[in-house]
Structure 1
Amino acid sequence: MLVFIMFLTTLLLISAFVMILSLILAKKTIFSREKSSPFECGFDPNSNSRLPFSLRFFLITVIFLIFDVEIIFLLPFVFSFPVVDVTTWFITGSIFLLVLLFGLLYEWKAGALEWTL
């Protein structure tokens, strides 16, 4: 029981020492309203919620999700290489990547990747 109490005391002392040390060595900053407010999708979260929402943020999010889902589909495909025939694997992989490439080129030409108009 004494060992447990000594261990707990040592643990508390070390954690208190680390917390005090981090408070002493932490960089002090002056907080302003802009620095302390969260940045949510390009609008002020403390303002009226009925303001029109910019569709640019929504489009960038959708494009990110599309290419994020691409990774989810591509990883199991890569791991199936030893199981599937090489020519079938290469043809289906090429078709999949070509569809994604054409989608990216279409978005690029349509101006969906342009941040400013």
Structure 2
Amino acid sequence: MLLTYFSLFLAATIVFILLLAAYCVSSRSARDREKQSPFECGFDPKSSARLPFSLRFFLLSVIFLVFDIEIALLLPAPMMIFWGSKTFIICIMIFLLILTIGTLHEWNQGSLNWVYNKHTT
């Protein structure tokens, strides 16, 4: 009986010491203030939040996301063409046609230009 109480006391003491050690190790200090501050996209969070944002960059990133998703949709195409699924081949051809028309439209509108040129707008 005494051994059971001693084991329980020893286990509780070990748990308390581990919790205390974890708290001491994980406590924040004043020197970590810079690490704890938010950092996003190279903008300093202490300045104004109304910084100018490039709409051109936003449109280019949306176009990149669309093309990134299309690659994920086209990955099973070679396997399905190998298996000979005619319905899938027709769907892939329609999908590629829509993507080609969309790419040509974006190119015609000048959205795929990496450098802003004042003379093209």
Length-normalised TM-score, structure 2: 0.52
Alignment gaps of 5+ in structure 1: 1-37
Deviations along 1:68-105, one digit per CA (max 9) or x if unpaired, are: 000111012322224343x5444332221111111001
Distance 2:43 2:88 in 1: 49
Considering only aligned residues, what root-mean-square deviation do their CA atoms show, in Å?
2.4
How much does 1:52 deviate? Answer: 2.3
Question: Contact 2:60/2:111 (CA < 8 Å) preserved in 1?
Answer: yes
Larger radius of gyration: 2
Distance 1:72 1:90 in 2: 16
Residue 67 of structure 2 is aligned to residue 67 of structure 1 = yes
Deviations along 1:5-33, one digit per CA (max 9) or x if unpaired, are: xxxxxxxxxxxxxxxxxxxxxxxxxxxxx
Instruction: Look up the SS of the partner of 1:99 in the other structure.
Output: helix
Distance 1:88 1:66 in 2: 24
Percent of aligned pairs sharing the same letter: 46
Residues 32-43 of structure 1: pairs in structure 2 closer than 5 A: 40=41
Length-normalised TM-score, structure 1: 0.54
Deviations along 1:32-69, one digit per CA (max 9) or x if unpaired, are: xxxxxx893xxx51242212211111111100000000
1 or 2 for the larger relative contact order (CA 8 Å, sep ≥6)?
Answer: 1
Distance 2:87 2:80 in 1: 11
Amino acid of the structure 2 residue aligned with 1:111: G
**Paired residue for 1:45?**
43
**Paired residue for 1:81?**
81
